[in-house]
Structure 1
Amino acid sequence: MLLKREVHLTQNSYYEASVSRPTPEASLAGAIRADVCVVGAGLAGLSAALELRQRGFTVALLEAKTVGWGASGRNGGQLIAGYASDDAIESQLDAAAAREAWQVTVDALALVRQRIADHQIDCDFVPGYMSLAVNARKARELAGYSEQLMQRYGYAVQPIAPADVGNWIASDRFHSGVYDPQSGHLHPLKYTLGIAAAARAAGVQIYENSPVHKVHRANRPVVHTEQGSVTCDFVVMAGNVYLNEYGNAVAPELAPRIMPVGTYIIATEQMAPERAAELIRHRAAVCDTNFVLDYFRPTADHRMLFGGRVSYSGATPLNLAGSMRQRMLSVFPQLSDLAVPYAWGGFVDITMNRGPDFGRLDPNIYYLQGFSGHGLALTGMAGQLAAQAIAGQASRFDLLARLRHHNFPGGAALRTPALVLGMLYHRIKDLM
């Protein structure tokens, strides 16, 4: 069970320590009726619920833990255009459809900014993102990819030449890179709680500590928890890797197409504002181009937040804070005097092709999963697309639902060892 493997990792989160949560919502008790039942109060589920309510649907949202408990509330906070890999859209869609699919991710950035403004969400949003290469070979690959973005999708980024990279980041680790002014970063838990507040204000009924045990599929589905049920016309499943964690499998056909991958982050103690400002130009978010990558950014209260170590086996790395600190010091050795009071992690869901997995199990049961580490912006758009589809405007949802996904090989018993071996190959390539 994923929950047993990660529960201790969620208890030392900088994000949780820097927010004031509202009074918990009550658990679902008894039988209720709603037009739509949404499963999962991460950003995909909250977005779907908010958009549906704005279209006049009554909505009940069931969350197994608390709002934002999963990846939506503990990720790296990087708000980035594009997918984890473009292969899925470029291999399965024609050029025009691929452009439309890529534009969905650009529109997702605009949607986040719009929601921050419309709902006055204080979530420390900062525009600007850098993708940096650690050597000349990777720099050539990054330059080629950047040219493709412009040629195929009309998405322009600013090159950072080797001679200029020191003016963008106070680190000797990087060869060159690109700067993207449209992407950026924010405090993901503050943002998630802000969307939840907007959904409540719109009239969404949110029930926390209400794990779904079973969904009876019918013309009017019934979604069951331990102490209650929701009879509805539509279901939106947005539980990702946790969807089948409780009792009877809610949607067993979805589980083989996603793999839970552990991701880990640290945050340093606070530093002087001037010192923090000297580390990264524009206080942008940063990610390197390795397959097993590092990503980092300054926080609003002048800490360095650094993520990157991953576990494909599901096992928590030993000495998590210490090993992550060493990764940070390989980029910023000048931070060696700073303590690391926060270290946390959890699971994200990836697909075989790193493309999103959206679709319908039945005409009235929708699902959203497979964000593959690029979900902070795309989850919000996914919820909007699902709401539009339920309301009768399904073209953009159906575009992404056209993407086909294979099961991870080896079945439940062998797919994790197979993935570990595959990732070892990519780790070796990163060193070349």
Structure 2
Amino acid sequence: MSTLRDGQAPVDSWYRQTAMPFPRQAHLQGKERVDVAILGAGLTGLSAAIELAKAGRKVAIIEAREVGWGASGRSGGQAIFGFGCDQHKITAQLGLADSKKLFAWSLEGMQLLKSRIRDYQIDCDWHDGHAHVPIKPRQVDELKHWQDDLARNFDYALPWWDRDQLRAVLATDRYLGALYDPNSGHLHPLNFTLGLATAALALGVKIYEHSEVISLNRQAPLCLKTAAGEVEAESVILAGNAYVYGLAPELDARIMPVGTYIGATEPLRADRAQSLIQNGMAVADINWALDYFRLTSDHRLLFGGRASYSTLKPLNLAGVMAARMKRVFPQLADVRFDKVWGGYVDISLSRAPHWGRLTPNIYFAQGFSGHGIAATGLAGRLISEAILMQSNRLDVFEKLKHRPFPGGRLLRTPMLVAAMAWYKLRDALW
């Protein structure tokens, strides 16, 4: 097996700078037997581990780097209802009845996130409120159509803010309105992940860090092997997402690692920060290559959105990010970024979640497509339900068909780069 190379050390992010204390966990050495072995100590793996440990199962998590090292500890931290694709795409595949189930379960994922913050007393700076914002008139129409579909078919009514309403709380003239959701919000993703890990350890879950899995034995007994040890299990969960290749080639072909980048400004005065986003909500536009932003607990602006579809880090990243930020907030012309970092998200071709089984006892969850803060918790719960012999909900997700990216291993990245260039051009011109 090989992992997507993204360095070995933890990323120097604002999240890492403000992370809660968490004791480093031992490497895997020797042989161990458990009920469930999980690859990946991110949000999906930790969520599943918590559910299974509460049900009395013996669980071990094997992590190639450290808890929260990947997307779970680097993301924009925006927790949003639904999934990475628009709900109408799921409806087109599954029909309205099953689409309604998936949407309702996505809301359960949001509630699960909030209940875990409360139950495990995780200090992760949760803040209510998220706005999707349009830049072009056609995007106003898209959002209003989405608003109507959510209200009419999914009983999820969201308010539309016109430009003046939005301008009253958001200090920019760039956007034409907003679709606002008070139920969504944002948090410190690394501290949330570390909080879940702390809860999992308290429930008896073993977490092995710096223990890269090099092979998966799919025959009984199932076994995840590292250079120094192995874990045999009755069930295995693959939760490495964009950072794992080679263990399951049939999964590799159906996700693409996409680099995404975030910057945290130098601290602003509290009053200056609040003047930018008076209600503290998170904001994202709906361009294909989108911008998203929010305030932090120490009065910085966290601004993300630069993406790389080639897996190569963009040149002059800090300068590009600053230019994008100042296009939204020209009043921040004097503000610099203290930290700029990136990582990879796992997108599926349709942007719909790809969760299911490789074999009757090997489970996976991938394809969160940049929409994983709440959905990962749901994925962990549904997979744990299936392991506990209640698979009806995971069965519905398995109905979603996922085609491989065209071009194979050699050509799929250049083809995706070309496709994304078209979408960026459309954002700019239409």
Letter of the 1:224 counterpart: K
The residue type paired with residue 331 of structure 1 is V
Task: Specify whether residues 314 and 45 from structure 1 end up closer, same or farther in structure 2 by C-alpha distance, changes over 3 A only.
Answer: same
Matched with 1:65 is 65
| Residue pair 2:60, 2:207 contacting (<8 A) in 1 also | yes
**1:428 offset after TM fit, Å?**
1.1
Equivalent position of 1:46 in the other structure: 46
Q: Secondary structure at the match of 2:91?
A: helix
2:324 is matched with which residue?
327
Three-state SS of the structure 2 residue aligned to 1:28 is coil
Shift of 1:201: 0.3
Partners of 1:205 and 1:9 lie apart in 2 by 22
Contact persistence 1:132–1:177 (CA under 8 A): yes
* Residues 197 and 184 (structure 1), Cα distance of their counterparts in 2 relative to 1, 3 Å cut: same
- Matching residue of 1:149: 150
Letter in 2 for 1:348: V
**CA contact under 8 A between 1:10 and 1:346: conserved in structure 2?**
no
The equivalent of 2:56 in structure 1 is: 56
Deviations 1:348-389 (A, max 9, x none): 100000001011111000011110000011001100110011
Distance 1:205 1:164 in 2: 50
Is contact 2:4–2:244 with CA below 8 Å preserved after alignment?
Answer: no
Relative to structure 1, the CA distance from residue 38 to residue 203 in structure 2 (aligned partners, 3 Å threshold; closer, same or farther) is same
After superposition, the C-alpha distances for 1:181-214 in whole angstroms (9 at most, x for unaligned) are 0000000000000000000000000000011111
Aligned to 1:254, the other structure's residue is in SS state helix
Instruction: Give the equivalent residue in structure 2 for 1:336.
Output: 333
Counterpart-to-counterpart distance in 1, 2:11 and 2:57: 36
Question: Shift of the alpha carbon at 1:9?
Answer: 9.7
- The CA deviation at 1:141 is 1.3
Instruction: Work out whether residues 8 and 65 of structure 2, in 8 Å CA contact, stay in contact via their aligned partners in 1.
Output: no
Match for 2:373 among 369, 373, 376? Answer: 376
User: What do you get for the CA RMSD once the two structures are aligned?
Assistant: 1.3
User: 1:144-293 maps to which residues of 2 (within 5 A)?
Assistant: 144-244=145-245, 249-293=246-290
Query: What residue is the counterpart of 1:391 in the other structure?
Result: 388
| Stretches (4+) displaced over 6 A | none
TM-score (norm 2): 0.97
Alignment partner, residue 11 of structure 1: 11
1:110 is aligned to: 111
1:65 match: secondary structure: coil
Contact 1:40-1:64 within 8 A present in 2 as well: yes
Distance in 2 of aligned mates of 1:319 and 1:195: 35
Letter in 1 for 2:259: G
Which residue, 308, 311, 326 being the options, matches 1:311? 308
Q: 1:243 Cα deviation (Å)?
A: 2.0
Taking the TM superposition and a 5 Å limit, the aligned residue runs for 1:90-105 are 90-105=91-106
Query: Counterpart of 1:7 in 2: which secondary structure?
Result: coil
**Aligned equivalent of 1:81:** 81
Instruction: Indicate the SS of the match to 1:34.
Output: strand
**Aligned-pair CA distance for 1:269:** 0.8
TM-score (norm 1): 0.97
- Cα distance in 2, alignment partners of residues 230 and 11 from structure 1: 28
CA apart distance, 1:11: 3.1
Tell me the residue number matched to 2:352. Answer: 355
**What's the offset of the Cα at 1:148?**
0.8
> Could you tell me the percent identity over the aligned residues?
46
- Displacement of 1:277 in angstroms is 1.1
2:3, 2:251 → 1: CA distance? 16
- 1:99-124 CA distance string (max 9 Å, x none): 00111111111000000000000000
Look up the equivalent residue of 1:46 and give its one-letter code.
Answer: L
8 A contact 1:10–1:345 mirrored in 2: no
- Which amino acid counterpart does residue 301 of structure 1 have in structure 2? D
- Rounded to whole Å, the distance in 1 between the matches of 2:221 and 2:279 is 51
> Counterparts of 1:288 and 1:50 in 2: how far apart (Å)?
34
Amino acid at match of 1:326: A
Q: What per-residue deviation string (whole Å, max 9, x for no partner) do you get for residues 133-163 of structure 1?
A: 1122211111111111111111111110123
Is the 1:88–1:354 Cα contact (8 Å) retained in structure 2?
no
* Distance in structure 2 (CA, Å) of the matches to 1:38 and 1:88: 30
Q: Output the amino acid matched with 1:14.
A: W
For residues 390-409 of structure 1, the C-alpha deviation after alignment (integer angstroms, 9 at most, x for no partner) is 00111111111111100000
Cα deviations by residue, 1:207-260 (Å, 9 ceiling, x for unpaired) = 00011111111232011111111111000110112222xxxx211211000000
Separation of aligned partners in 2, 1:29 and 1:57: 21
Q: What amino acid does structure 2 have at the position aligned with 1:254? A: L
Shift of residue 2, structure 1, vs aligned partner? 6.1
* Whole-Å separation in 1 of the counterparts to 2:74 and 2:12: 11
Does the 8 Å CA contact 2:3/2:244 hold for their aligned counterparts? no
| Structure 2 counterpart of 1:310, one-letter code | A
Deviations 1:48-68 (A, max 9, x none): 111100011000110000000
Deviation, 1:168, is: 2.4
Compared with structure 1, are the counterparts of its residues 373 and 172 closer, same or farther at alpha carbon in structure 2 (3 Å cutoff)? same
Query: Unaligned stretches of 5+ in structure 2?
Result: none
Letter in 2 for 1:176: G
**CA displacement 1:304-343 (0-9 Å, x = unmatched):** 0000010011111111111101100000111122221100
SS at match of 2:225: strand
Match of 2:363 among 366, 374, 381: 366
